């Protein structure tokens, strides 16, 4: 009999109970004991759901208080020395300080989890001596068994991927770190075996990226050692997000099963399976239900893949599961009572995906009583959905887009020609200061928006409230001495959702929340149809803000690639086609802002790097169409109009040339959490456009000292031209409190003034 399995379940709770408990603890409103109690109840409720759904292999240790990579670091004693850790189990307080920073120390770096919208805390190895602080998988296994009678499948981040995701060691030291950490993994697995654990899932997503022969030697060393440590434990070596590399070698490791992505990596995986076969003593754990998107599975199509696999392995050697952890999708469609039924009928969130996994498993096992009914219901749902008017504009849109692409997507003048024109028009000082766009969304802002959405306030009342907030923050910015101002984005719930609500082709869930990083949850819009421009989206607030000051106010837009990558997108069109539809709509907004007298327009693209494909041969085509989409959005403005963009929390070292090709006049990039390491890229590569490197981390409540920011600025100016350099925080300030925001900006401006003075003194000598 085939087994059904799950790789991980959303930790946030159906109503984001997880987020609320953690944030109350941070605010000092919840005692630690109560935090543990509340999170335990959430964790157990998730296990009960999977048990009730009929999942055979239920994951444990997939739940986290913040991030699964940080959990692994804490379990292995990988704590940055600056936190003065003295060994033993990492306390809750210290755990969150590593993630968020403390009054005295900056947080660890945060970056994207492969090519998803989730972000993890980067382990810092440096000169640490690792230790097993506690066996977290064992504790999770015991809890599930004792509380619910569940024979859980512990989930552990694989040693190879953990080392690959870390920093603080030279490339040639990778093997040494594997040997340092291997005894700890050895001990974890031995203790699990002693407890009677049957299955263990080692997540090794790094195995879908290119890795060397030397890497393969290390992978072989790891899994041979673990098999020796616990020969009675059945190990699933789990990969996801793409097709696995070196299948022919991995399948012969001493493991019980190899987990493969049968959605995003299906073609590459099935080709390797057909070419190399499956040894008789191995199982294949195949992910046939999409763990990264929200559309209902087309069951017949999925079952066709199972039929192909049955030519290689018998049903009793197959494990049916989602393509990856369900961390990346919302909890349940059942809470979506406001969506049109025709759209709701084609959606599947985590709970519904569990049902699909069980339906496929039952069909494979000959228990197909409800199979035909489910298949027909799906076909009828998609037929009605595909007939929607908004899904049938694509041909007309494409004609307009193709015409623009054929004309070419270049500004009228080169950067070298237009930047002096912009400088002359804007009359800004050396090292202009600005922010990325948003200011704190206080409880008053959220309450006002809620009243308006509920109909308790008229649109006139809400607009008046937003105008008051704009007035207040324009005054703050002028008092602080910022050079280029923003309106603050108080009317926006989210930088993607806001635009989706004003464009055709989008719909919105009521409870479709997913975790982005830490307690930060987002509710991605759903691109279900063709994207169309309906009316100006940002002009009113931006023009109002500009009327309240003589300093330039930036127009603030989210770029086409970020809107696409941070939305759940339709599956019947290519991502390139969707990106161009978005760009064509945003182009009309950029031009509306310019016509209204806005001289600086920022088109943020923080998610360009996030969406970079994991396979190297797919990266250039993706970057090429991303560049074209950005230029399609921005190329129609006058030379004097300055285009900005913003990117954050990714390693940009391999795409500096692509950033340059976007031809933005000014780009701002995060450098604070990576402690200025990005600057090293510019020490090796010339960058001759305007640039701002974020000088403080907005995802931490910590207010950096003036000297700290001054040091970052000065290091950047060793390799970047002062006349092209801007000063800004590393991201928007929406999630921060007002006092810390004002204090940090004050320090940033003081640091800028000090550097300006030094530059002036140097120039006078």
| pTM confidence score | 0.91
* Alpha-carbon span 579 to 582, nearest angstrom: 5
pLDDT cut 70: percent of the chain above it: 97
DSSP-derived 3-state class of residue 43? helix
* Alpha-carbon span 168 to 178, nearest angstrom: 14
Long-range contacts of 177-180 (CB under 8 A, 24+ apart): 177/125, 178/218, 178/221, 178/222, 180/129, 180/130
The sign one gets for the Cα dihedral 263, 266, 268, 273 is positive
∠ CA 126-132-133, rounded to 5°: 100
Helix (H) or strand (E) holding 711: helix 706-717
Res 606: pLDDT: 86
Q: 46, 119, 644, 699: which is the annotated catalytic residue? A: 699
Q: Cα separations (Å) of 149 from 2, 319, 355?
A: 22, 22, 21
Give me the numbers of helices (H) and strands (E) for the chain, helices first please. Answer: 27, 21
pLDDT for 269-307, tens place per residue?
999 999 999 999 999 999 999 999 999 999 999 999 999
* CB 496 within 8 Å of CB 558: yes
Res 649: pLDDT: 53
Res 104: pLDDT: 87
* Alpha-carbon span 741 to 734, nearest angstrom: 10
Phi first, then psi: give them for residue 343, nearest 5 degrees: -85, -45
* Alpha-carbon span 497 to 455, nearest angstrom: 20
Task: Tell me how far the alpha carbon of residue 543 is from its chain's centroid.
Answer: 32
CB atoms within 10 A of CB 705: 13
* Alpha-carbon span 215 to 178, nearest angstrom: 10
Averaged pLDDT of the chain: 94
Res 525: pLDDT: 95
| Residues 6 or more apart in contact with residue 591 via CB below 8 angstroms | 636, 637
* Alpha-carbon span 386 to 6, nearest angstrom: 30
Residue extents of the structural domains in the chain: 394-443+480-764
DSSP-derived 3-state class of residue 615? coil
Res 674: pLDDT: 57
* Alpha-carbon span 566 to 497, nearest angstrom: 9
Res 716: pLDDT: 86
Q: Which CATH architecture has domain 394-443+480-764?
A: Alpha-Beta Barrel (3.20)
- 699 as an active site residue: the answer is yes
pLDDT for 80-115, tens place per residue?
999 999 999 999 999 999 999 998 899 999 988 999
Helix axes 299-309, 266-276, angle to 10 degrees: 20
Q: Which residues of the chain have pLDDT under 70?
A: 649-654, 671-685
Helix (H) or strand (E) holding 748: helix 738-764
Helix axes 136-148, 174-195, angle to 10 degrees: 20
Residue stretches of the annotated binding site for L-homocysteine: 436-438, 489, 604
* Alpha-carbon span 205 to 243, nearest angstrom: 10
Question: Regarding beta strands 642-647 and 666-670, do their DSSP bridges make them parallel or antiparallel, or are they unpaired?
Answer: parallel
Q: Identify the burial level of 84 via C-beta atoms within 10 angstroms of its C-beta, where 0-12 means exposed, 13-18 middle and 19 or more buried.
A: exposed
Question: Regarding beta strands 59-60 and 554-558, do their DSSP bridges make them parallel or antiparallel, or are they unpaired?
Answer: unpaired
* Alpha-carbon span 610 to 756, nearest angstrom: 35
Task: Tell me how far the alpha carbon of residue 659 is from its chain's centroid.
Answer: 19
Res 652: pLDDT: 62
Residue stretches of the annotated binding site for L-methionine: 436-438, 489, 604
Strand order in 318-322's β-sheet? 3-4, 318-322, 283-289, 257-261, 234-238, 199-203, 153-157, 59-60
């Amino acid at each position: 009999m085939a087994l059904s399995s799950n790789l991980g379940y959303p930790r946030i709770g159906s109503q984001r109970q997880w987020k609320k408990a953690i944030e109350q603890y941070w605010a000092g409103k919840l005692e630690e004991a109560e935090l543990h109690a509340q999170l335990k109840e959430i964790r157990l409720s998730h296990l009960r759901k999977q048990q009730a759904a009929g999942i055979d292999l239920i994951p444990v240790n997939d739940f986290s208080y913040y991030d699964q990579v940080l959990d692994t670091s804490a379990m292995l004693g990988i704590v940055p020395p600056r936190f003065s850790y003295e060994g033993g189990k990492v306390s809750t307080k210290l755990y969150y300080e590593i993630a968020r920073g403390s009054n005295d120390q900056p947080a660890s770096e945060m970056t994207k989890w492969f090519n998803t919208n989730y972000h993890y805390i980067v382990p810092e190895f440096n000169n640490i001596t690792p230790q097993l602080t506690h066996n977290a998988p064992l504790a999770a296994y015991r809890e599930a068994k004792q509380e619910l009678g569940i024979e859980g499948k512990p989930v552990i981040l694989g040693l190879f991927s953990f080392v690959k995701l870390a920093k603080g060691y030279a490339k040639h030291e990778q093997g040494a770190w594997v040997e340092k950490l291997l005894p700890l993994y050895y001990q974890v697995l031995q203790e699990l075996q002693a407890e009677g654990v049957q299955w263990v899932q080692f997540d090794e997503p790094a195995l879908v990226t290119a890795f060397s022969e030397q890497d393969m030697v290390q992978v072989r060393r790891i899994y041979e050692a673990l098999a020796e440590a616990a020969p009675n434990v059945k190990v699933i070596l789990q990969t996801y997000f793409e097709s696995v590399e070196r299948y022919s070698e991995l399948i012969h490791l001493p493991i019980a099963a190899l987990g493969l992505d049968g959605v995003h990596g299906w073609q590459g995986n099935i080709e390797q399976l057909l070419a190399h076969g499956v040894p008789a003593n191995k199982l294949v754990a195949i992910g046939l239900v999409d763990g990264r998107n929200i559309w209902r599975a087309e069951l017949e199509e999925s079952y066709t893949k199972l039929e192909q696999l049955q030519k290689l392995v018998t049903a009793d050697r197959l494990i049916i599961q989602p393509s990856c952890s369900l961390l990346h999708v919302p909890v349940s469609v059942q809470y979506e009572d406001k969506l049109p039924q025709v759209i709701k009928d084609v959606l599947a969130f985590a709970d519904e995906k569990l049902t699909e996994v069980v339906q496929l498993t039952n069909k494979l096992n000959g228990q197909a009583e409800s199979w035909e009914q489910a298949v027909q219901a799906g076909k009828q749902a998609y037929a009605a959905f595909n007939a929607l008017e908004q899904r049938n504009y694509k041909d007309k849109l494409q004609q307009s887009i193709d015409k623009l692409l054929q004309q070419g997507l270049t500004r009228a003048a080169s950067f070298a020609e237009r930047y002096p024109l912009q400088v002359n028009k804007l009359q800004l000082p050396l090292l202009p200061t600005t922010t990325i766009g948003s200011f704190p969304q206080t409880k008053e802002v959220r309450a006002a928006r809620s009243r308006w959405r509920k109909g308790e306030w008229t649109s006139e009342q809400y607009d008046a409230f937003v105008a008051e907030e704009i007035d207040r923050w324009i005054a703050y910015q002028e008092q602080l001495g910022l050079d280029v101002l923003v309106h603050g984005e108080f009317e926006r719930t989210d930088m993607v959702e806001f635009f989706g609500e004003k464009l055709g082709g989008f719909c919105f869930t009521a409870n479709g929340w997913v975790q982005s990083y830490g307690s930060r949850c987002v509710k991605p819009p759903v691109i279900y149809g063709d994207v169309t421009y309906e009316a100006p989206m940002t002009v009113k607030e931006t023009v109002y803000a500009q009327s309240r000051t003589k300093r330039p106010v930036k127009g603030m837009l989210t770029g086409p690639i970020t809107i696409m990558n941070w939305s759940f997108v339709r599956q019947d069109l290519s991502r390139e086609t969707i990106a161009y539809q978005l760009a064509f709509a945003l182009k009309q907004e950029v031009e509306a802002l310019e016509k209204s007298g806005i001289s600086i327009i920022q088109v943020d693209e923080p998610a360009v790097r996030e969406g970079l494909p994991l396979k190297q041969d797919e990266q250039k085509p993706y970057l090429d169409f991303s560049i074209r989409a950005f230029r399609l959005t921005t190329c129609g403005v006058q030379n004097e109009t300055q285009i900005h963009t913003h990117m954050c929390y990714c390693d940009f070292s391999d795409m500096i040339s692509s950033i340059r090709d976007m031809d933005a006049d000014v780009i701002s990039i995060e450098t604070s959490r990576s402690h200025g390491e990005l600057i090293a890229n510019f020490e090796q590569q010339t960058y001759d456009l305007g640039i701002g490197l974020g000088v403080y981390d907005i995802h931490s409540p910590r207010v950096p000292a003036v000297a700290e920011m001054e040091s970052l600025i000065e290091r950047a100016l060793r390799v970047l031209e002062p006349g092209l350099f801007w000063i800004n925080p590393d991201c928007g300030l929406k999630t921060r409190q007002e006092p810390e925001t004002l204090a940090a900006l004050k320090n940033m401006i003081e640091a800028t003034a000090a550097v300006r003075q030094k530059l002036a003194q140097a120039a006078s000598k």
